[in-house]
Structure 1
Amino acid sequence: SFSPENLMWVHNDWILGAFDAASKRFAEKDLEVSVAGRSFMITGANSGIGKATAMAIAKKGGTIHLVCRNKDKAEETRAEIVKESGNKEIYVHILDLSETKKVWEFAEAFKKKYKTLNVLINNAGCMMTKREVNAEGLEKSFAINSLAVYILIKSLIPLLEKSPDPRVITVTSGGMLVQKLRTGNLQSQRGRYDGTMVYAQNKRQQVVMTEQFAKAHTNIHFSVMHPGWVDTPMITNAMPDFHHSMKERLRTPEQGADTVVWLAVSEAAVTKPSGRLFQGGRTQTHTNIHINIYI
């Protein structure tokens, strides 16, 4: 059967194998750098890929701004990073990315308080099992995965442009390859709600958004990356069957973070064209490898 759900499973299995090969090409020497004096904002930084990214960059001396929803978990993460890295320049910001007005207010306040932001890493995401709306009436998956990312980037561009070597990195998913961009049903109001496919559509939106921002702001290096399929709480909770069947093949959060860290700190990253999709330290042209199944 070529249902969206079955195709997603086939693609997930394929991308795991592809990433095993891609990860072997990763240039570790590119990561042998110090980023002391540079600041990094990471959303969803208290677990999974976000936490692994924060830890890796903190060990290289970077100033880290952890943007998290849960204060207790965020403070625990901060303490762990400080203890393991010896870097005390780790700051916690509490924000619910599903409330878009609060996202904008946070970004505007951040610009007033801090003089520089070198790298914005949009890592936070969600996969809903049923359609839910936030206090503003927006479908939550779209609000968190797409709209919050857009608002953060748009609001923080003036601060990024004033900072040396500015970069914006968004963590996407290979699942977006089973979706064409669809702008006619952004709130997922029509048809049956399939959280996996809505998530894949959001991730497609992130890739297109990155391309457009790169064209409009050529002095900032924009990139979007697929981390492979990683053993994170989101995969465990939202895709339990997939997690159970693929658990032995899933990447660790540290492995999932490798390309994020490379894009954030390496000199090699900014020699690549802005606006591209990356996996394993290499660019991928998503429009060429898209599976044309929704005609």
Structure 2
Amino acid sequence: MSWYRNTVWFVKGLREYTRGGYESASKHFNPADVEVDVAGRSFLVTGANSGIGKATATEIARRGGTVHLVCRNKERAEVAKEEIVTETGNHNIFLHIVDLSNPKEIWKFTEKFQNEHKLNVLINNAGCMVNNRELTEDGLEKNFATNTLGTYIMTTTLVPLLEKAADARVITVSSGGMLVQKLNISDLQSGNGPFDGTMVYAQNKRQQVVMTEQWAKAHRNIHFSVMHPGWADTPAVRSSMPDFYERMKNSLRTDTQGADTVLWLAVSAEATKLPSGLFFQDRQPVPTHLPLAYTHSPPEDEEKLMEVLEEFSQKFKSVSPGV
């Protein structure tokens, strides 16, 4: 089955996820959807110092939004902030240094952020693909800690702030790679069997899709969406998937093309006319499963995922300094 899933997915990717796929899809875009003034609205973008996160932050800043950049590396983040300010002329750009693999840091950050800022749109973009099994200082597998638990804590702790805002939205940058994975709640930290970083990443991205669907059911006043940016030429792809990059580099999307649907989901009025909880690609909702791939999960597994993540979250809240 994995051979079938991977083959069908790769053929689909060659047709849809490349630069050519974007150019074909973009013929049907309405440019006016994103030609909007978002002055007075506040956006938080994680992983915003490069790639899709930086491209998204830049385009929001260009439209007048207040942008909070949440980054791990202070030096790179400061350079990115200055570049965004210079390119857009928007000085309402704020920088926060947070390691998304460290749940205690996220708790500390969100508690402080809620007391000092408003928030209209949260964009969960930060992610990692570590190809060897690494544990964080808290004993968490690093991909899971960043992509799944970090996204969960960042979102759920900011929900109360978002619920105070008009037209509140949460967008999570996932990956079409999740199509090759069925939710596996029995091994969330990939401790059983051989470790394959690419498949672990794909599993995390499946978890993000499930989280988004569950959040949409639980929080009716916030519009949740999750999306696939396509295969884009970003620093993360170059460093984490060098073989894939070498094979596909002439066909990859630019980071701005990869960020297009994130921007559309974040600023357009059209996005929120569609139901909450959907998975998007090139401004369109698309299926979350490949045909005949048997990747659907029973509802109890999806509910169990949320229960386990909440247990992790509360565990780290209790030991977070200042919380």
TM-score for both structures, normalised by structure 2: 0.87
Greater mean alpha carbon deviation, residues 283-292 or residues 197-206: 283-292
Question: In the alignment, which of 75, 79, 83 is matched to residue 76 of structure 1?
Answer: 79
Which position in structure 2 is the counterpart of 1:164?
166
Q: Aligned in 2, Cα 1:290/1:138: closer, same or farther, shift over 3 Å?
A: farther
SS in 1 for 2:67: strand
> Structure 1 residue aligned with 2:222, among 220, 238, 241?
220
Structure 2 equivalent of residue 109 of structure 1: 112
Closer, same or farther: CA 233–163 of 1 in aligned 2, 3 Å = same
AA aligned opposite 2:226: V
- Whether 2:66 is the aligned partner of 1:63: answer yes
CA distance in 1, matches of 2:239, 2:271: 33
The corresponding residue for 1:16 is 17
The one-letter code sitting in structure 1 at the alignment partner of 2:241 is M
**Is the 1:15–1:174 contact (alpha carbons within 8 Å) kept by the matching residues of 2?**
no
Give the alignment partner of residue 133 of structure 1, picking from 129, 135, 143: 135
Contact 2:177–2:202 (Cα < 8 Å) also in 1? yes
- Deviation larger for 34-43 or 102-111: 102-111
Q: Secondary structure at the match of 2:91?
A: coil
User: RMSD across aligned C-alpha pairs, in angstroms?
Assistant: 2.0
Could you tell me which amino acid in structure 2 is paired with residue 80 of structure 1?
A: E
Preserved CA contact (<8 Å) 1:179 1:294 = no
CA-to-aligned-CA distance 1:184-233 (integer Å, 9 cap, x gap): 00010000000000000000000010000000001100000111000011
CA distance in 2, matches of 1:193, 1:212: 28
Aligned residue among 230, 233, 237 for 1:231:
233
Paired residue for 2:123?
A: 121
Q: Which runs of 5+ in 1 are unaligned?
A: none
Larger displacement relative to structure 2 (43-52 or 21-30): 21-30
Aligned match for 1:100, one of 93, 103, 115: 103
Inter-CA distance 125–133: structure 2 relative to 1 (3 Å threshold): same
* Alignment of structure 1 residues 1-295 onto 2, 5 Å: 2=3, 9-10=10-11, 12-16=13-17, 18-114=21-117, 116-287=118-289, 289=291, 291-292=293-294
- TM-score normalised to structure 1 length: 0.95
Deviations 1:89-116 (A, max 9, x none): 00000011111111111111110111x1
Gaps of 5+ in 2: 298-323
Cα shift at 1:15: 3.9
Q: Report % sequence identity.
A: 57
Give, in angstroms, the shift of residue 23 of structure 1: 3.1
> Quick one: distance in 1 between partners of 2:283 and 2:84?
25
Instruction: Give the C-alpha shift of residue 292 in structure 1.
Output: 3.0
Query: Residues 227-278 of structure 1: CA distance to partner in whole angstroms, max 9, x if unpaired?
Result: 1000011111111111011101100000001000000001111101000001
Change (3 A) 1:289 1:281: farther
